[in-house]
Structure 1
């Protein structure tokens, strides 16, 4: 059947050079993709007024507009809070252009113009009138009218903002709002975000003429208040993505020291790139929406049912065959797709259909919004149509076999004729060679060949060049003319070759040109359905993430936590998911941070000594003490990691857990030291603590590791705090007292005193109370500190225990020590007399001054 009229006929004047006719589509697609598409232009608009912040984002290549609902800054320090929020947005959005109003608060400009930030984006200050709510409403209305499918929330948005959980409690109720934002987005609470949308439209119009009705193919809404705020310091301290070495390098085997892992590596059991990228986003932005978290936990419960095991293995097998489809869909309107792109797209549609069939077999899955999403975002009928559209034009199997795009027969009769000539080209060339030989009566010294973009030529080997030149000089019957030559061959044109070019044409080039034009026509048809494929990709990524979290829970024995809207944190037999992988045996520990109801003065003083019995009940601040290397930092960070895991929707490493929603996790675990900033470690610690206190909220979780600073935590508005310290004097001298929400615990050790040589063994268990000592001298021995230093430290410690006079102790020196002390004094005085600003060689000066001490 001739259907050539349904496709664009090739333009013979635009033939592109190619040695094989598919190189045009392959090479051009690859070069344009790498040069222009690999770094898409992302425009981010930002507005902040008072304690509110709004944001909108436009991805120019995919025509995807997204915005954040206006959010209130809850912290005491607006600048610090805005800085944390902005850094989190930058990390997830990666803008190339940042639009801000000329009325943007001056005090916030250092945040967006941070010179120490390596993020590359240009800032464009736009007139304040461009941030117009009415303009945003008008333009978005045009886009929605043009295509009603542009604005539809995915299933998790429907769960987060609908009455889904009411329907679960009452199965007879079907009251669920599938488009929760459509009627209320442009109210007074979202003026800033709407203004950001308007500024993006103005920016696009300023760059060139745009079709408002077609410049948006996808519109989504997010809410900052539905995500936990995690600072950069927290991401580093908790090893969410960076590798984590063994928790105690002094007690590890060489093979364990080289082992490393991070939270993402442990729970990333995804089978597709789509799933892996979404899981990263979940870890960067854990949910604070109770409905979303419970929905994710419910899905993991379903996927862990034993009757679903075989089906889930098949689903994971299908997911592994899915490639980076969003990039391909993005390219549909930009460049000619390559063969690998077409194969990946067909594979995606095929596997999606397979996943739809498998999902219908998963027990209890049909009761979840995810199942509805799988079947509705890309309906089966449309999916089949898309597959038919592609496979009816492109022969995928033959293309993969030949390594080039092969158009199906009868799509274009002219193309079929050219392909037939191409297939018989060797026979044609051989026939023409024989005809010329008969005409010229010269045999076996030349042949006819074809070179793409040049045409038909006569080729002569160098050894026969003399005979050909003799023929041309005597009687050039066919008007031979040399075109070019190589070291072994000479190429000629003739009247016969010109006739062949006119009658057969540039076969390779025309086939390549027609192939590209036919596939571009197909891409134009498919571009109308890009939104459906994008949504299907989102659903696939969500399915992959849930399966991955279920797989990780099964492999590691994680349990489902109980999530509440309160602020309690109760964990029994918890363990660190990272460090448990690096040691043969990991000792579990529990925690209980509870908030008393107003007027409830009851305290549970007589608790069991077992730390997992939640002996630190009725408190919101737990202070941990213990010896060096006893596991305090691991204990602190493990509880924060468990909270994050729970709020991304994962099961947690604990036998039981009840977790109240945390809106932000703030840490002071490692010092932000910087020589260039000329700040001491202590000053950096103070700045970190100051930042934490300014941006914390009553629902925050603070992790403070070995910072000796007491805080007033009275009142119900205090956040959850888990801290550790080596300053035992704070407790021994009653500088800090238990009560008023503060409890203490310590890391248990076993002390073996044999013949005066004290040794300790770490038990890594928490117990209520306080540690008697840091056992710093024992830890110094483990670290290999010089024996003389250890001996002196032991003498000083014994003097401290006896309550002796340290001044008298240090004055009782041996003659040798007294001499060295005098030498040290003279060296110090000489050093202080030097003008260091004029001293070019500091190391040479120190070497000269210290020389007497070495003798």
Structure 2
């Protein structure tokens, strides 16, 4: 048995392939690589085992080499690059038969070929020296791996072990996108775009969590490439073209792939319920259906991540096409299936997952048009970021935005932030905080300045800002040293350890001793101070004494000129041009005919006022003095470059100090917000519960004079906390006293109540307090215990947009679908009147089925807070009232009957006067939503409101609804009805006959 490894080019024709196998089947263990000129061609290692019919038989002579194939073996080129730690391609050379052969890195390609009983191709030699190729078993695909690859001598197959995934990363326009594929489960994971000023931290976190074997990047993604190379472990980097990462390409690839997956699933299942979107063009209907399904699973508005998914599918398709390339009938495409069969959204395990739609619903960020028309940037409107943002530095503002954009799930980080805010928000630190914020105001965008200085593009303003940073950093360290030693904080340790006072003083002294800032602002460039460099001082001395020298030369030259020209003669110096004799153009005719000018005068150029000449004396000045001003600038550039090199050893310390100052600015900002808004420190715990006492909506309370606080208590999973439920939180109310006890430990809270009663505010309030706690901020409440929450899902009434070809109800369904599919036991789901956009029965059924789905997940049941007006869920016991994991809540109101005057008539009518108390109390209110009363508050005309009340009462009592007529028509109908009743009641006799005739005449007149 002879084993040979071949790397076959995907573009080889079948004849050349068979010829290669035939020619090299008797040459022992060799590695042959066929490549074409196309560098994008994929190559792959194929393990083949050949069984000669007789070991003693000599091999037949090889056939002649095809002419077209010869060049392919003389200059092999690797078709796939493997990036080593140094950034270059990693290849190995092996000596065989006194000839260096290039072994492609694809020998480590994460695909395992295994011979089960026989080789994929068996070549048998018959007695007549004829060769027959017989297909045997097919290739088997094993998971991608992360560790090394070894070759087994006994089995003759590539053995692999470790993790398995391919990841695509892209950082574009300040957004980081990611998608990865796991072959073990054949799943494609797509992330929502993340706003990142620098991709370093978040991309590193994603790589560590996904543990990819291969990372796909754009050709110009040098920043991410350097990041990948700095990570320990072997990661193969594949670079694709930029068009492969395009959004439209990615969206089209996803739709095409997902449609094919749906077709395969429907074809494989006979009892699958199929839903179709009918259009004039069948393909358009299929595409629209697929698009709707995708929007329910991932965020198609994540432009960068969708592009990454498209690049990943493209890469997998190329690999699939190559590995499925049949050689005769030897390869079964189904055994080499690489394409993913399922799709999931994902987020980093270190941060809370909140979609962009959820952020808009909760009011995390809200941009508004700046009132100053000359400002191109928008200003932050009333939002959570606007409430917490009291930063005084640009780097602090950006860091706070990053914190709020990505709430953390690290308890240590949250504890650190809460402890710092707790210290800086006390009354004892008011003076210290004011002093620190005063120092921080002078710190600008230090990372940008360091980058400009490192690239030799810094202006005098950049150098001055760096000098101020060094000075005020020392002031900050001095202020923090006056803190109570028992209150040592982690942020103070960061500031003290980031860069010592001695280093800051050396940086500041070096800049201050080198640069003359006043003269630099005057000249518009970086000017070096005097007495710094002896050679520079001599050049400046020569330049300063240049005027008398030029005056003397001008006098000497004027003696050789006519008197009328001598009076206007000057010698001038132009930097980079040299020295010239300047004569006024008043005697221009003398210049043209060379009258009165010395013979060595040569006209160089003219202006509107003067003509400029060169002569022997100016040439002597050029040689003796030279371009003095240019030499001064060149020397100053050299000295500034020397200063940059001297400070380069401190750049990393300066950046660390800037990060520490930005972190201090964020903590002081949130401490200031906690002090002025009376926020409290939440207790963060690993218990899966939310316990809020007297919570307030942070944004809504800024818009009203008095805000009514409410409690909230939810427990994830099976509905009971692992520890005793707190019974100390009591809500003082005129009508109810609310205690938390073990019976109230529910996973789902179903809230009902009248319109305008504050249900939606309460819903968002709970989610916002959980969000703020995970940012590290204090929360608006009397007390709060917040368990770690990995995701927040919102299913609220969304604003329709023409950019999406779906209805408002379809958007609600997409949000609910994501929550039902991705919510875990530690997630929070808020549902606001789901089902209002469709038939009442369908909406109620969908809501009830969704709640039952959450309950069926057991320990993975999320914490759900839902609002509904479907009172039939409670009235008909569709939701079991004995279910301890569902808690019924309602909004408390006061209602009393009163007499109101109709605006359309002088009649008096009975109505209900409603007072909203905005309190959440246990129980359910399944009787009245007071929609008519809310309509009257909204300014709906009284006749419309009164008619609405009448129709509502008729419907509730199952009575016939009568239309409304005009007064004249109603009078006729009343008269007809009166006559009809009289006719029915009277008996026809001789005495009543005349009366009946009169009634008939009256009826005829009315009709």
**TM-score of Structure 1 vs Structure 2, range by shorter chain:** 0.5 to 0.7
How far apart in 2 are the matches of 1:603 and 1:42?
43
User: Does residue 582 of the first structure (1) align with residue 726 of the second (2)?
Assistant: no
How far apart in 1 are the matches of 2:591 and 2:945?
98
Cα shift at 1:812:
8.0
Q: Give yes or no for contact 2:834–2:868 (8 Å, CA) kept in 1.
A: yes
How far apart in 1 are the matches of 2:813 and 2:202?
41
Change (3 A) 1:446 1:39: farther
User: Does residue 665 of the first structure (1) align with residue 792 of the second (2)?
Assistant: yes
User: Does residue 770 of the first structure (1) align with residue 924 of the second (2)?
Assistant: yes
Within 5 Å, which residues of 2 pair with 1:174-573?
A: 224-242=348-366, 260-364=381-485, 367-396=488-517, 398-400=519-521, 403-440=524-561, 441=563, 442-462=565-585, 464-466=586-588, 469=591, 473-477=594-598, 479-573=600-694
**2:830 alignment partner in structure 1:** 703
What does the per-residue CA deviation read over 1:511-552, in whole Å, with 9 as the maximum and x for residues that have no partner?
A: 222222322232233333322222222211111111111111
What does the per-residue CA deviation read over 1:813-846, in whole Å, with 9 as the maximum and x for residues that have no partner?
A: 779999xxxxxxxxxxxxxxxxxxxxxxxxxxxx
Q: Give yes or no for contact 2:752–2:924 (8 Å, CA) kept in 1.
A: yes
**Secondary structure in structure 1 of the residue aligned to 2:505:** helix
**1:652 alignment partner in structure 2:** 779
Q: Give yes or no for contact 1:46–1:100 (8 Å, CA) kept in 2.
A: no
**1:628 alignment partner in structure 2:** 755
After superposition, the CA RMSD in angstroms is 4.5
**2:889 alignment partner in structure 1:** 745
**Secondary structure in structure 2 of the residue aligned to 1:375:** helix
> TM-score of the superposition, structure 2-length normalised?
0.58
User: Does residue 48 of the first structure (1) align with residue 193 of the second (2)?
Assistant: no
**2:866 alignment partner in structure 1:** 723
Cα shift at 1:673:
3.6
How far apart in 2 are the matches of 1:113 and 1:758?
47
What does the per-residue CA deviation read over 1:115-152, in whole Å, with 9 as the maximum and x for residues that have no partner?
A: 75455997566989xx9xxxxxxxxxxxxxxxxxxxxx
Change (3 A) 1:639 1:60: closer
Change (3 A) 1:726 1:509: farther
**Secondary structure in structure 2 of the residue aligned to 1:225:** coil
Within 5 Å, which residues of 2 pair with 1:48-67?
A: 48-49=181-182, 50=185, 67=204
How far apart in 1 are the matches of 2:601 and 2:969?
105
Q: Report 1 or 2 for greater relative contact order, CA contacts < 8 Å, sequence distance ≥ 6.
A: 1
Cα shift at 1:43:
8.9
What does the per-residue CA deviation read over 1:151-194, in whole Å, with 9 as the maximum and x for residues that have no partner?
A: xxxxxxxxxxxxxxxxxxxxxxxxxxxxxxxxxxxxxxxxxxxx
Change (3 A) 1:726 1:461: farther
**1:809 alignment partner in structure 2:** 961
Change (3 A) 1:272 1:229: same
Change (3 A) 1:428 1:598: closer
**1:68 alignment partner in structure 2:** 205
Give aligned pairs, total: 652
Q: Give yes or no for contact 2:721–2:745 (8 Å, CA) kept in 1.
A: no
Which of 814, 818, 838 is matched with 1:691 structurally?
A: 818
Cα shift at 1:736:
2.6
What does the per-residue CA deviation read over 1:227-248, in whole Å, with 9 as the maximum and x for residues that have no partner?
A: 1111111111111111599xxx
How far apart in 2 are the matches of 1:603 and 1:323?
47
Change (3 A) 1:46 1:537: farther
Q: Give yes or no for contact 2:895–2:912 (8 Å, CA) kept in 1.
A: yes
Per residue, is there more helix in 1 or in 2?
1
Structure 2: give runs of 5+ residues left out of the alignment: 1-170, 211-220, 229-235, 259-293, 320-346, 370-378, 836-846, 900-909, 971-1007
Cα shift at 1:562:
1.3
**Secondary structure in structure 2 of the residue aligned to 1:501:** helix
Cα shift at 1:434:
3.8
How far apart in 1 are the matches of 2:305 and 2:612?
53
Cα shift at 1:692:
0.9
**Secondary structure in structure 2 of the residue aligned to 1:261:** coil
How far apart in 1 are the matches of 2:708 and 2:419?
29
